[in-house]
Amino acid sequence: MSSQRPILVPILGDQLTRDIASLRGRAKDDTVILMMEVWDEATYVKHHKQKIALIFSAMRHFAQDLRDAGWTVDYASLTDEGNAGGFSGEVARAVERRTPRAIHVVQASEWRVQQDIEQWPDKFACEVDIMPDDRFVCSLDEFNDWAEDRKTLRMEYFYREMRRKTGILMDEDKPEGGEWNYDSENRKPPKDGLNAPQRPLFEPDDITREVIELVEDQFADHFGNLDRFGWPVTRAQAEETADAFFAERLPFFGDYQDAMVHGQDDLFHSMLSTSINLGLLDPLELCQRAEREYEQGNAPLNAVEGFVRQIIGWREYVRGFYWRFMPGLESDNALNAQRGLPEFYWTGKTDMRCLADAIRSTRENAHAHHIQRLMVLGNFALIAGISPREVQDWFLVVYADAYEWVELPNVAAMVLYADGGKLASKPYAASGNYINKMSNYCSECKYSVSKKTGEGACPFNALYWHFMDRHRERLEKNPRIGRIYSNWDRMGEDRQAEYLDSAETFLDTLEPAQSGWARDQ
Contacting residues for 369 by C-beta, under 8 A, at least 6 apart = 260, 265, 266, 267, 269
For residue 459, the minimal CB distance to ligand FAD (Å) is 19
In single-letter form, the type of residue at position 521 comes to: Q
- According to CB under 6 A, which one of 211, 261, 354, 518 is a site residue for ligand SF4? 354
Q: CB within 8 A of 199, min separation 6: which ones? A: 241, 244, 245, 266, 271
Residue choice 321, 447, 464, 517 for contact with ligand SF4 (CB under 6 A): 447
* Distance between CA atoms of residues 436 and 26, nearest Å: 55
Residue 369 site contact among ligand SF4, ligand FAD, ligand DLZ, none (CB < 5 to 8 Å, cut-off depends on kind): ligand FAD
Q: Please name the amino acid found at residue 4.
A: Q
Q: How far is the CB of 348 from ligand DLZ (least distance, A)?
A: 23
Site for ligand DLZ contains 52 (CB under 6 A): yes
- Site membership for ligand SF4, residue 84 (CB under 6 A): no
Among 22, 31, 88, 109, binds ligand DLZ (CB under 6 A): 109
Q: What's the DSSP call for residue 441?
A: -
Sign, CA dihedral 346-349-355-357, equals positive
**Residue (16 or 458) nearer to ligand SF4, CB:** 458
Window contacting ligand DLZ (CB under 6 A); options: 37-45, 177-185, 442-450, 506-514: 37-45
- Residues in 287-326 that interact with ligand SF4 by CB under 6 A: none
Select the span of 11-19, 213-221, 324-332, 348-356 touching ligand SF4 (CB under 6 A).
348-356
The least distance separating ligand SF4 from the CB of residue 466, rounded to whole angstroms, comes to 15
Residue (60 or 373) nearer to ligand FAD, CB: 373
Q: Which is nearer to ligand SF4, 328 or 456 (CB)?
A: 456
318 binds ligand FAD (CB under 6 A): yes
Considering only residues 395-414, where is the footprint of ligand FAD by CB under 6 A? 395, 399, 401-402, 406-407, 410-411, 414
Position 135, amino acid:
R
Give yes or no for a contact between 309 and 181, defined as CB atoms under 8 angstroms apart: yes
Residues 6+ apart with CB under 8 A from 158: 138, 143, 146, 313, 316, 317, 320
Binding to ligand SF4 in span 357-386, by CB under 6 A = none
3-class secondary-structure state, position 293: helix
**Site residues for ligand SF4, window 419-438 (CB under 6 A)?**
432, 435-436
Q: How many CB atoms are closer than 10 A to CB 300? A: 20
What distance in Å separates the CA atoms of residue 520 and residue 501, rounded to the nearest whole number?
36
DSSP-assigned states of every residue in 190-212: PPTT---PPPP-----HHHHHHH
Spatial strand order in the sheet of 7-10: 72-76, 31-36, 7-10, 102-106, 127-131
Return d(Cα 426, Cα 511) in angstroms, integer: 29
Q: Which stretch binds ligand FAD (CB under 6 A): 211-219, 310-318, 430-438, 502-510?
A: 310-318
Q: Which stretch binds ligand DLZ (CB under 6 A): 109-117, 213-221, 355-363, 473-481?
A: 109-117
Q: Is 47 in the site for ligand DLZ (CB under 6 A)?
A: yes
Strands 170-171, 174-175: pairing kind:
antiparallel
Q: Which of 6, 14, 190, 287 binds ligand DLZ (CB under 6 A)?
A: 14
Contacts of 241 (CB under 8 A, 6+ apart): 199, 200, 232, 270, 271, 272, 275
Closest by Cα among 517, 224, 198 to 367:
224
Query: Counting contacts by CB under 6 A, is residue 393 touching ligand DLZ?
Result: no
Residue ranges binding ligand DLZ (CB under 6 A): 12-14, 36-38, 41-42, 47, 52, 55, 108-110, 113, 403
Residue ranges binding ligand SF4 (CB under 6 A): 352-354, 432, 435-436, 441-442, 445, 447, 449, 458-460
Residue ranges binding ligand FAD (CB under 6 A): 269-273, 276-277, 307, 310-311, 314-315, 318, 369-370, 373-374, 378, 395, 399, 401-402, 406-407, 410-411, 414-415
